[in-house]
Homo-oligomer: A and B are copies of this chain.
């Protein structure tokens, strides 16, 4: 099932820069592994912001929470989660698939 997730990152200026850098590297590794697994289906940067818009494809809300709450930068994120479903005008017949009907 799909969830629309926005993550706004606010790293406090008092955080040790080396720690901040390490957390960012870890965050990147986790994000890429989750994208490769198909769980983190889309990841876009919001222009001008230290924030992203993402689409997650998970087994359950519990799995989504486990993923989000263990992200290395989670303590510095404001996260907004909204549940998605298939739109009646969508040309895709599987709410979890990106492949158009006519292909």
Contact = CB atoms under 8 A, between A and B. Distances in A.
A interface secondary structure, majority: mixed
B45 A85 contact: yes
A80 B90 CA distance: 20
Contact of A53 (B4, B14, B61, B69): B4
A62 B86 contact: yes
Contacts of A75: 13
Given A14-B14, A60-B1, A82 B46 contact: yes
Interface of A: 1-5, 12-15, 27-28, 31-32, 35-36, 42-50, 52-53, 55, 60-62, 64-65, 68-69, 75-76, 79-91, 95, 98, 100, 102
